C-alpha cells in the first residue's frame, strides 16, 4: 500500500487533475491520495492558499473581500467545468467557503487557519467527485473523522502520537481515499494547520500511520539534483539518497522537500519517492535509510548565503573553564540559534543565520560579550556562505578533503572556515558570499563532471 501526495502545481487545473487520476489508477497500490490546494497554472498565477490568506485578513479588518472569494470559487469551478463535473460540487464549495468566512472571528489566528484549510479541504472534495465521476470507488475523508489529532498551535500544529493508531484504520476503508493535506484537528475539534508546505507533513503522517510501503511525493521536477540548477546547468540527478544526506543537503538550501516533513516517514522506516506528476515514468529520487555507495564519495553539493559570524578573541581563552558556555548563554537569552562554533586556541567564532540579527541587537551582543567576558576583541563578519559537500561515501574515503580544498584553491576561493569531523557524511566550507557560485562550480566539476578541473 502506498500513500501518494500531490503538490499544488500538480492540482492547478483540470488537465493536472486528469494526470493525477491516471497516475493513481496506474498502480493499484496507490490507496491514499493526499492533496494540496490548487497552485499556480503559470508563473504570474496566484496560489489558492495565498488568495485565502488575503481573504481572511480582509474579513478580519471588516473590508470587502467579495472579489477574492469569487476568485477562489472560480478556481475550483473552472477545474470542475474542465473535467465535466456538475455544478453541484462547485456550489458545495461555495457554500463551505462562505460558511467558514462568516464564522467566529474572536480568535484571529484560529480564523485564518480555518480559512486556509478550506484550500486543501475543498480540493480533496473536488478530487473525490472527479474519481467518482470517472466511475472509480473513491471517497473524501475528513482529518477529523480519520483521527488526525494535533496540538493547538495555530499555523504550526504538531501531530499527537495517538493519531497514528487511529489512522491505521484508513486501510480498512474500501476504495481510494482522498485526504486533504495541511491541517488536523485539536482534541476540542478545532481546525489547526501545519507550517507551510504542510501537505508534505500530512502525507508523511499518513504513511507512518497506515504503515505504507512507500510514500510518493509528486511534485513538478523529475528528481532532486546534485547541485542547484541555477548555478550549474543540467546537473546530475540523484537516484537515491539517504535521510541523512537529504537532511544535510536541505540544511544548506535544498528545498525540494522540507526535511522536517520527513520525520514521521523516517521514524517508521518508510522510503520516500519524489516524482514528477508531469513525467510520471521518470524514476524520480528515492530517500531511503541506507544505500549502496558505488558512485564516488559525494552525492550532492548544497550552498546557502545568509550567514554571519561573531568572532571573539581573548588571550588564554582556552584555559578559562566556562568561556564558551557563557557566550552561548548570552545568545540563548536573545533566542538566537547558532549553527557552528569553530575555534582556535584563544579565539572562537559563532556562525549564525544573519536574518536573526539587526544592527541594534548586534551592538548589544558585542558589548555584552566584551564586558561580561572581558574579551580582547569581538567583531561581526557578514556575508558568509556555507557550502556543504554531502555523501555517505565519504566515510571510507581518505582523499575527499584534499580534492575539495584543491578544487577551491585552484578556483582562487579562500576558505574562511572548515567544519569537519562530527558528521561522517558531510564537510562544510565557509566562503565569502561573493565566492559562493565559483566555489560550487569548482566542487561540482571536481566530484561530478568528467572534465579536468582548471581548463
* Binding-site residue set: 5-8, 49, 120, 219-220, 225
3-class secondary structure, 108 = helix
Q: What is the DSSP letter of 343?
A: B
Q: What is the DSSP string of 138-204?
A: EEE--HHHHT-BB-S-TTS--B-TTHHHHHGGGGGSSSEEEEE-SEEE-TTS-EEE-SSSHHHHHHH
Compare residues 50 and 339 and give the one whose CB is closer to a second copy.
339
Contact between 220 and 276 under an 8 Å Cβ cutoff? The reply is yes
The residue to which cell 543565520 is assigned: 353
The answer to the question of residue 319 lying near a second copy (CB under 8 A) is: yes
Q: How far is the CB of 337 from a second copy (least distance, A)?
A: 5
The answer to the question of residue 340 lying near a second copy (CB under 8 A) is: yes
Residue of 98, 282, 345, 361 interacting with a second copy (CB under 8 A): 345
Residue of 53, 160, 357, 401 interacting with a second copy (CB under 8 A): 401
Compare residues 119 and 430 and give the one whose CB is closer to a second copy.
430
Dist. CA 446–CA 437, nearest whole Å: 14
Contact between 193 and 117 under an 8 Å Cβ cutoff? The reply is yes
C-alpha distances in Å from residue 182, one per residue of 13, 16, 51, 113: 20, 20, 16, 10
Residue of 412, 434, 449, 454 interacting with a second copy (CB under 8 A): 412
Binding mask 352-391 for a second copy (x = CB under 8 A): ----------------------------------------
Compare residues 197 and 420 and give the one whose CB is closer to a second copy.
420
> Using CB under 8 A, which residues numbered 293 to 312 contact a second copy?
311
Q: How far is the CB of 379 from a second copy (least distance, A)?
A: 12
Compare residues 46 and 380 and give the one whose CB is closer to a second copy.
380
Compare residues 20 and 431 and give the one whose CB is closer to a second copy.
431
Residue of 189, 399, 450, 452 interacting with a second copy (CB under 8 A): 399
Q: What is the DSSP string of 251-301?
A: HTT--SS-GGGGHHHHHTT--EEEEETTSTTS--EEEES-----S-S-SEE
Residue of 123, 257, 419, 447 interacting with a second copy (CB under 8 A): 419
The answer to the question of residue 242 lying near a second copy (CB under 8 A) is: no
3-class secondary structure, 388 = strand
Q: Which stretch binds a second copy (CB under 8 A): 86-94, 110-118, 273-281, 410-418?
A: 410-418
Number of C-beta neighbours around residue 301 at 10 A: 31
Residue of 46, 324, 354, 437 interacting with a second copy (CB under 8 A): 324
Compare residues 398 and 455 and give the one whose CB is closer to a second copy.
398
Q: Estimate to the nearest angstrom the gap between the alpha carbon of 27 and the chain centroid.
A: 26
The answer to the question of residue 329 lying near a second copy (CB under 8 A) is: yes
Q: How far is the CB of 290 from a second copy (least distance, A)?
A: 16
The answer to the question of residue 240 lying near a second copy (CB under 8 A) is: no
Binding mask 245-284 for a second copy (x = CB under 8 A): --xx--x--------x--x--x------------------
- Where is the binding site for substrate, in residues? 49, 120
Q: How far is the CB of 54 from a second copy (least distance, A)?
A: 29
- From the list 191, 208, 177, 93, the residue with the least C-alpha distance to 144 is 191
Number of C-beta neighbours around residue 268 at 10 A: 17
Q: How far is the CB of 146 from a second copy (least distance, A)?
A: 26
Residue of 61, 188, 234, 325 interacting with a second copy (CB under 8 A): 325
Q: Are strands 237-238 and 183-185 parallel, antiparallel or unpaired?
A: unpaired
- How many residues touch a second copy (CB under 8 A)? 58
The answer to the question of residue 234 lying near a second copy (CB under 8 A) is: no
- From the list 246, 263, 288, the residue with the least C-alpha distance to 161 is 263
Number of C-beta neighbours around residue 369 at 10 A: 21
Cell of 231: 548555478
Residue of 336, 357, 433, 453 interacting with a second copy (CB under 8 A): 336
Length of the chain: 455
Q: What is the DSSP letter of 56?
A: H
CA 298-304-309 angle, 5° bins: 115
Q: Can you give the binding site for a second copy, defined by CB under 8 A?
A: 247-248, 251, 260, 263, 266, 311, 315-316, 318-322, 324-325, 328-329, 332, 335-349, 398-399, 401-402, 405-406, 408-410, 412-423, 426, 428, 430
Amino acid at each position: 500500500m502506498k500513500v501518494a501526495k500531490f503538490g499544488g502545481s500538480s492540482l492547478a487545473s483540470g488537465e493536472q487533475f486528469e494526470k493525477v487520476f491516471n497516475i493513481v489508477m496506474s498502480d493499484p497500490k496507490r490507496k491514499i491520495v493526499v492533496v494540496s490546494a490548487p497552485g499556480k497554472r503559470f508563473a504570474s498565477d496566484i496560489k489558492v492558499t495565498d488568495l485565502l490568506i488575503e481573504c481572511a485578513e480582509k474579513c478580519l479588518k471588516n473590508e470587502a473581500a467579495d472579489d477574492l472569494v469569487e476568485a477562489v470559487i472560480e478556481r475550483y469551478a473552472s477545474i470542475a467545468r474542465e473535467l465535466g463535473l456538475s455544478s453541484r460540487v462547485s456550489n458545495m464549495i461555495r457554500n463551505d467557503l462562505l460558511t467558514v468566512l462568516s464564522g467566529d472571528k474572536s480568535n484571529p489566528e484560529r480564523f485564518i487557519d480555518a480559512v486556509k484549510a478550506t484550500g486543501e479541504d475543498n480540493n480533496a472534495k473536488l478530487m473525490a467527485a472527479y474519481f467518482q465521476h470517472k466511475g472509480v470507488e473513491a471517497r473524501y475523508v475528513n482529518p477529523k473523522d480519520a483521527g488526525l489529532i494535533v496540538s493547538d498551535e495555530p499555523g504550526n500544529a504538531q501531530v499527537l502520537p495517538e493519531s497514528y493508531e487511529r489512522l491505521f484504520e484508513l486501510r480498512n476503508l474500501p476504495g481510494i481515499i482522498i485526504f486533504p493535506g495541511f491541517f488536523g484537528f485539536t482534541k476540542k475539534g478545532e481546525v489547526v494547520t501545519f507550517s507551510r508546505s504542510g501537505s508534505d507533513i500530512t502525507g508523511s503522517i499518513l504513511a507512518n500511520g497506515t504503515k505504507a510501503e512507500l510514500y510518493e511525493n509528486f511534485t513538478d521536477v523529475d528528481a532532486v539534483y546534485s547541485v542547484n540548477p541555477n548555478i550549474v546547468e543540467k546537473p546530475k540527478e540523484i537516484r537515491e539518497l539517504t535521510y541523512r544526506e537529504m537532511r544535510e543537503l536541505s540544511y544548506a538550501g535544498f528545498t525540494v522537500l522540507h526535511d522536517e516533513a520527513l520525520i514521521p516517514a523516517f521514524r517508521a522506516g518508510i522510503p520516500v519517492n519524489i516524482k514528477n506528476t508531469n513525467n510520471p515514468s521518470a524514476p524520480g529520487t528515492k530517500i531511503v535509510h541506507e544505500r549502496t555507495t558505488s558512485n564516488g564519495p559525494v552525492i550532492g553539493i548544497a550552498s546557502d548565503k545568509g550567514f554571519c559570524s561573531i568572532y571573539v578573541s581573548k588571550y588564554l581563552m582556552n584555559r578559562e573553564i566556562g568561556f564558551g558556555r557563557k557566550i552561548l548563554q548570552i545568545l540563548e537569552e536573545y533566542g538566537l540559534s547558532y549553527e557552528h562554533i569553530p575555534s582556535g586556541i584563544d579565539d572562537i567564532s559563532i556562525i549564525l543565520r544573519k536574518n536573526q540579527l539587526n544592527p541594534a541587537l548586534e551592538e548589544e551582543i558585542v558589548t555584552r560579550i566584551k564586558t561580561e567576558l572581558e574579551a580582547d576583541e569581538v567583531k561581526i563578519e557578514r556575508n558568509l556562505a556555507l557550502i556543504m559537500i554531502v555523501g555517505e561515501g565519504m566515510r571510507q574515503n581518505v582523499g575527499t578533503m584534499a580534492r575539495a580544498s584543491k578544487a577551491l584553491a585552484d578556483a582562487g576561493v579562500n576558505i574562511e572556515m572548515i567544519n569537519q569531523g562530527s558528521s561522517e557524511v558531510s564537510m562544510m566550507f565557509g566562503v565569502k558570499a561573493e565566492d559562493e557560485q565559483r566555489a560550487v562550480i569548482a566542487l561540482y566539476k571536481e566530484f561530478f563532471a568528467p572534465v579536468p578541473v582548471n581548463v
